[in-house]
Structure 1
């Protein structure tokens, strides 16, 4: 066991819930140093525990295949040794040689020295994680005696298995410190706490779980760092979605058992957590990619309305522009509701009618279309005209286009490639239509920004006369349940029918999902909030002979 022992009646540990930027080693090192100095000066802290891969941000993906990244990490670690005085830090970083023996590591640094380094043992290689592509597994526990407390170090996935924690206990650990980069999804915080409590029950040791916060492309991290006592009681909980330093005071009772004390932030509702996830993911995508502003096609429908509310909440009304692009099929209430919402939020709002452009396309294509009845072709032309307008504004002003489509539409292809799918980011990409309505109601419970009629009127693409979504799709209450079973839970046609769903509807929905994979491959990225999102979380072939009708005779 490594030792750096000093007798101290109270030990102050800080959960450093920060928002690193992937690849920005220099910037992340500055954040660590700033947080460490603040913890030392404001809390008289002994140790700050930061999230997994603090120096690189998470997930670095194929940046981990670049030797130059590791060189920068090593320089960053040396800077931490040189700059941090009077306090220790536990930071995550890659260690070793690229493509040879690279580890997902955590190092304890104090007084100019690295006192200990731990190598992660369990590398997740499922869902959105592919750590075995880059890292090799550690084998040994790491316990260090720092100021009289024996600290057992683990990293993220390790805490979901008994062995790494048991190893630390056998090596003399009195408390387990777990560094995390655990992405948000609905219900994830309950799973984390339940799993960590299981480790406490197995070992009788308190556990400190430190998670990062912020958005990284499709992933968003909620923070929600916490500590459980040796009895499995939650004694400290950091606020969700907030960067900050969250102190834990550690003392000993008469039996020398460690006692942990701190503040517990209140829990949020599911709708509040999802809304904050979308807002945080959108804000960080905009800010970390240095976009000056965003532009949204505001239709008077609920999807674009919720997107607008999120954008204003994320970056402020002065950086959001909306454009209403009516056609002959646009209802007056859509124009009125879009105008009311834009004015209410004080965003720059324009109206650009598309009928003349639509007519030009029809005239230009009249020879090719001769003798053929009107169909979705004409509807898609309208959507693509709107997409061209938005992308032109984006190119001229530098504003990023936000696509407003939802998961239900994305799943079944109820969207137009190069039309309403155009954009740099799709905040609602992983949000089912039924949840869209709940989120709109939640946002209005804070302050009414979405006109009531937008929420209560039947949804319509308004690309044809008297068009409603339900003319082309099953009711969203039915559709979303089928989609969740097929996409997230991998139910087959037979099981869905056996559970009571209509066979014709099930077959139709499955066929729509399968044949629209090519569209989803070309969609902009969006924030993952469910356990199975489109993109890196669900990898299906575009060309495939597997279908509802394919059977073995």
Structure 2
């Protein structure tokens, strides 16, 4: 057995478009790698510009900025014995723009490999801005042949086959693989397929961090040629790992062994919400967040996530009672705010409601009260929160969950007002489960307190918008357990009504929910962004027409 290579994996949090600061971070990491006597530094896909850069790469000035950054990175690698550096950039190949990985060594770009397969489904639309390349060939590096597969290339067999057939010693996967529940297991299974086909070890280096609706969990890893896992890096945190490799009988083996932090489902979802909000607030330079704390479970869980992400000093909660707000809700909201340690204010909106009654009374004379009057209350709350946001600069965090957003059980320009949502892609039954989880656990790296932060009464009492007397969510909707199952079938699995009925649901109820799902599309188009949690979120994943006459069953 002889020494072969030391590869430094850099699981970094790049900011889209921040070319200079991304290069600063890469330079810091490179200097660390020098001190550790690394031979090669591997960074994620498009590490110089962040992912996904979207139409930024169509701006000529942006590409010139990237070219200057490459010159800067070439400079830091000058000198015999310094590590090689693999970084990702948008790069022109003649007059064709491609997603590229560069091997930079001793002040020069020694090799360029272009992304072979471009994802163009779900949240991805790389074919809009990039062009696919031929299957890659290995890069020569210090007596070895490195097989670089950029992200999506790993999910197909053609790139790995080309690399193996042309003598690659190892597969390197710089990637930006966004999170959704169960994604880690999917990645590992696909990586093992490539290893099984090629009999080559594989290094998977993923980005970490939040970018608008996407969040990247890191969780980089190393697989041996037999498919066994030797290295697991942490999920949900920047991380760095020096992996040492040995070569025997022309086979590379990773002698580094490391077990990282990969949480179970509830903690995974919670960490996704925390990191997404952290980066959305910090990267957009908001001083903190504002939350309408109603005494209900959605706003309580949103507040807990915000405190864990930002710290209690950055979270301002406001209770806005009307004559329909119960004393129970007022005391529950106050108890939640106290447990979380946040600033808490009460601003009664009854005077505003009365003013609107006076203003609209002559026009509404002779008509019964209905959802119009209910929505005035919600919109007044939105007005109060947006006024506080304008005055003090904090971003309003909306609190609606995926079950409500699916069927339009939300008020446009009311409780949908705000800049971001951590629950937008979380079904109601998971809201309950996450609240129970948070009361017994503190997320790794969380800034909030231990113990019960969501009073038990908030979790157990029947959900209600409290916009009229004795109102309950289940007056308008099926029980959430049934509703969520229907919605997972309709939204995530795209199942027809007939198949959903076979699961034990009432046919007319499923048809009603499908109808509500479709007619609420116009509301969702005007909702704030929210972190992707499920396989199919509203927004980039699911692009349905607003004007839509299709139904899979008659009502």
Is TM-score (shorter-chain normalized) higher than 0.5? Answer: yes
Residue deviations 1:242-301, cap 9 Å, x none? 102112110123x23111123121431100110000000000000110101111000011
Q: Which residue does the alignment assign to 1:259?
A: 253
Query: Mapping of 1:188-199 within 5 angstroms?
Result: 188-199=183-194
| 2:348 pairs with 1:348 | no
Offset of 1:8 from its aligned partner? 7.5
Query: Mapping of 1:479-498 within 5 angstroms?
Result: 479-498=483-502
Q: Which residue does the alignment assign to 1:538?
A: 542
| 2:326 pairs with 1:331 | yes
Distance 2:139 2:225 in 1: 19
Q: Which residue does the alignment assign to 1:461?
A: 465
TM-score by length of 2: 0.96
Residue deviations 1:371-420, cap 9 Å, x none? 11111111100000100000000000001000000000000000000000
Distance 1:476 1:170 in 2: 53
Contact 1:271/1:438 (CA < 8 Å) preserved in 2?
yes
**Aligned partner (choices 122, 128, 131) of residue 127 of structure 1:** 122
**Aligned partner (choices 279, 288, 300) of residue 293 of structure 1:** 288
| 2:523 pairs with 1:519 | yes
Distance 2:55 2:135 in 1: 26
Distance 2:293 2:2 in 1: 60
| Residue aligned with 1:313, SS | helix
**Aligned partner (choices 125, 150, 162) of residue 145 of structure 2:** 150
Offset of 1:38 from its aligned partner? 1.1
Deviant stretches of 4+, over 4 Å: 548-551
| Residue aligned with 2:113, SS | strand
RMSD (Å), alpha carbons:
1.4
Contact 1:236/1:264 (CA < 8 Å) preserved in 2?
yes
Distance 2:62 2:241 in 1: 30
Distance 1:149 1:456 in 2: 61
Distance 1:403 1:8 in 2: 57
Q: Which residue does the alignment assign to 1:69?
A: 62
Contact 1:117/1:142 (CA < 8 Å) preserved in 2?
no
Q: Which residue does the alignment assign to 1:36?
A: 30
**Aligned partner (choices 14, 17, 21) of residue 23 of structure 1:** 17
Distance 1:473 1:236, change over 3 A: same
Distance 1:203 1:244 in 2: 28
Residue deviations 1:322-363, cap 9 Å, x none? 100011111111111111111122211100111111111011
Contact 1:8/1:147 (CA < 8 Å) preserved in 2?
no
Q: Which residue does the alignment assign to 1:59?
A: 52
Higher mean C-alpha deviation, range 135-144 or range 512-521 = 135-144
Contact 1:14/1:45 (CA < 8 Å) preserved in 2?
yes
Contact 1:52/1:58 (CA < 8 Å) preserved in 2?
yes
Distance 1:14 1:468 in 2: 55
Query: Mapping of 1:72-111 within 5 angstroms?
Result: 72-85=65-78, 86-96=82-92, 100-111=95-106
Residue deviations 1:103-141, cap 9 Å, x none? 111011111011111011101100010111111111142
Distance 2:47 2:389 in 1: 34
Question: How many residues end up aligned between the 2 structures?
Answer: 542
**Unaligned segments of structure 2, at least 5 residues:** 442-449
Distance 1:548 1:231 in 2: 47
Contact 2:2/2:247 (CA < 8 Å) preserved in 1?
no
Offset of 1:550 from its aligned partner? 6.4
Residue deviations 1:423-442, cap 9 Å, x none? 01111100000000111111
Higher mean C-alpha deviation, range 406-415 or range 144-153 = 144-153
| 2:155 pairs with 1:160 | yes
Q: Which residue does the alignment assign to 1:502?
A: 506
Distance 2:49 2:312 in 1: 32
Offset of 1:10 from its aligned partner? 4.6
**Aligned partner (choices 12, 35, 45) of residue 6 of structure 2:** 12
| 2:180 pairs with 1:185 | yes
Offset of 1:149 from its aligned partner? 2.4
Q: Which residue does the alignment assign to 2:438?
A: 443
Contact 1:386/1:420 (CA < 8 Å) preserved in 2?
yes
**Aligned partner (choices 513, 528, 534) of residue 532 of structure 2:** 528
**Aligned partner (choices 403, 408, 414) of residue 413 of structure 1:** 408
| Residue aligned with 1:186, SS | coil
Distance 1:420 1:272 in 2: 27
Q: Which residue does the alignment assign to 2:446?
A: none
